[in-house]
Amino acid sequence: MISAMFSRRIRRPKSPALRKAWESLDSGDVPGALRQLRAAGEEQPLGEVALVVGRAAGSAGFDDLAKAAAALAAEPERPKAFYDFGYWCIEHDVACLAVPALREALRRSDGSPVALRELVSAYEHEGRHREAVTELTRYEGTFADWPDRYLLVFNAALAGDLELARRQHALLADPEDAQWQPARDRQNRVLERAAVAERVSSLDLTDLRGWQYVIAGTVLGTLSPYGFDAGMHGRYAWLQDTPDGCLRGLLRLRALLAAAGVRPRSVSLLPDRDSRILGLAAAEVLGLPAEPFVPGRPDTVVVAYDLDGVAAHDGGPEIIGQLFERVPGQVLHAHASCWTDPPAITADSVALLHQSLVPPWGERLTQGADGGVERGPADDRPEAEIAAEVTAADPEADPGDGAGPADDDAEFAAFAGAVSGTWLRGDRARVRSAGPVPSSRFA
């Protein structure tokens, strides 16, 4: 009641689109208000946007963002107010709201390098790499190699412009500051992977497997057979997984290991139930003994169903940290990986990319007796019994809707063999970007 009375006394936005966001806050719906802000677009008055964001931030306990929003609403002519607001929006994972403020900060500060870099960061968080390239190119005559030219190469590659990335990379001197050397090494690996992938893959804006390898070093096992030309380009939106799909992913893993000449001696079982089930099935498919995961074990395939599930398990964050640095002969395979919110580390092999997923043994949606949809119980059978069901499944590919490209075993093996010389290199740093291949997203 007190909050509602206070909200009636304070200044309110005049824009109709922003008033909808304000009304969501009246009802305590902060996520709804943020959705309304995103839907309103980037042409809204920034002082009024700051009013809404400040109130939402206060409700969420984000005092730093609330303070920055209040300063922008009070002084909408001050460049630093735009910068501070944009900075804290990025820090609280609402980079979409940072972009217009940081563009204004850049304009009002006559091209401040600090404002430019923060605007590029906002674009990167949003996957808007082409716009980051455009902005950086405008200031090429004045920027520094590190980080500015590095950022231009990075964003050009993620936008799919390898010609520009290579041209700028050739101009980029080695960093004098050692803190940039890991970034330099990762960038070198990206362009090395591109050089081998383009020999066997189109690397156009529909080549999901090719670009997944270039940007992340991940070999993607399977492509979704649905909605390819309707915006998905090989990714899944919402999927109820099946034993058939799990087996197909494991067979692609086996083909990848063979094509790359990698000969593991064991399968390492991670502690979460989903990964243990899949790991037991993997051991059978690969003809290897299954052993509990031990940090630093070489020549092993570490099998995760979904790395986010590993991270959520007791001790999971520690295991994720142990998998960041590569161990000789160790391969990290994840059956499923979320492309809209990638896991904390990058797997070497991924069977499929999804936005939302239900495991074959999870709480699945089914049709009830009354014709409605209801959620069924999870399969609580012993892990070995479910794993045996996976290995006995039908690995034939789902024909789908017939709109996507052929994804046959021979084509996959050819790709795997072609890129094997650059696979399994470097650390497994998280790659937030989905790369240049677009896909439809669902709320």
Indicate whether 106 and 208 sit together in one domain: no
The pLDDT, as a whole number, for residue 443 is 62
- Domain end, chosen from 160, 192, 224, is at 192
Question: pLDDT (tens digit, 9 = 90+) per residue, 337-365?
Answer: 999 999 999 999 999 999 999 999 999 88
7 pLDDT exceeds 50? no
Looking at the 3D structure of the chain, how many domains does it have? 2
Classify residue 88: in a domain, yes or no: yes
Q: Where is the domain boundary, 148, 165, 192?
A: 192
Would you say the pTM of this structure is higher than 0.85? yes
Assign residue 25 the CATH number of its domain.
1.25.40.10
Q: Which residues lie across from 303 on neighbouring strands?
A: 269, 333
User: pLDDT tens-digit profile of 272-296?
Assistant: 999 999 999 999 999 999 999 999 9
Q: Over the stretch 52-84, which tens digit does the pLDDT of each residue have?
A: 999 999 999 999 999 999 999 999 889 999 999
Do 23 and 141 fall into the same domain?
Answer: yes
In terms of domains, do 222 and 360 share one?
yes
Domain assignment present for residue 255? The answer is: yes
Over range 261-282, report the average pLDDT.
98
| CATH number of domain containing 305 | 3.40.50.2020
- As given in the structure block, the two tokens for residue 328 are 């000789």
Within this chain, do residues 263 and 354 fall inside the same structural domain, yes or no?
yes
For the chain, give the percent of residues with pLDDT over 90.
88
What is the per-residue pLDDT across 388-410, written as a single tens digit (0 to 9) for each? 999 999 998 888 888 888 899 99
pLDDT of residue 10: 59
Tell me what pLDDT residue 13 has. 87
**Do 178 and 146 form a contact (C-beta atoms < 8 A)?**
no
Query: What local confidence, expressed as pLDDT, does residue 238 receive?
Result: 92
Question: Is residue 327 predicted with pLDDT exceeding 50?
Answer: yes
| 307/399 same-domain check | yes
Range of the domain at 416: 204-422
Q: Do 214 and 172 belong together in one domain?
A: no
What span, in angstroms and rounded, lies between the C-alpha atoms of 38 and 41? 6
The arithmetic mean of pLDDT across residues 179-191, rounded, is: 96
Q: CB-based contacts of 31: which residues, under 8 Å, 6+ apart?
A: none
Q: What is the pLDDT averaged over residues 136-149?
A: 95
User: Encoding tokens for residue 59?
Assistant: 């409700």
Instruction: Name the E strands within 221-319.
Output: 238-240, 266-269, 290-292, 300-306
Q: What is the pLDDT of residue 36?
A: 94
